Amino acid sequence: MTATPVVLTLAAALIVIGMAGVLARRNLMFMLVSVELVFNGAGLAFIAAGAHWAQPDGQVMFLLILSVSGAETATALALMLRLERHYGTLDVDAMRQLRD
């Protein structure tokens, strides 16, 4: 018996928790962390699939996910810093009210 179903279940749980965090939280920092959870769940699924078929493709895809995640995090943190300086908060609802 392989551990692939267990790992895929964990990956699905990470993706679901990340999506719930994006939908439930209103703070941009928590939303960014939730998106990172989704990326990690997808990467774990790729690694499990690659291990199941004994192919290095899953690890290559995970490296691609890591590089995209790093670029996304750097860009998002720079935007969040700018938004926090402009609005004084990272709360999405407060930013929407300040706009009107």
pLDDT digits (tens, 9 = 90+) for 41-87: 999 999 999 999 999 999 999 999 999 999 999 999 999 999 999 98
- Which residues are CB-contacts of 37 (< 8 A; sequence separation ≥ 6)? 14, 15, 17, 18, 21
Q: Is the dihedral of CA 16, 18, 22, 27 positive or negative?
A: positive
* Residue 1 in this model has a pLDDT that exceeds 60: no
pLDDT value of position 74: 96
Number of folded domains that form the chain: 1
- At residue 94, the pLDDT reads 85
Closest CA to 42 of 1, 20, 10, 76: 10
Domain that includes residue 71, residue range: 4-99
Q: Residue 63: which CATH number?
A: 1.10.287.3510
* Residue in the structure block whose two tokens are 């402009």: 86
pLDDT confidence of residue 65:
95
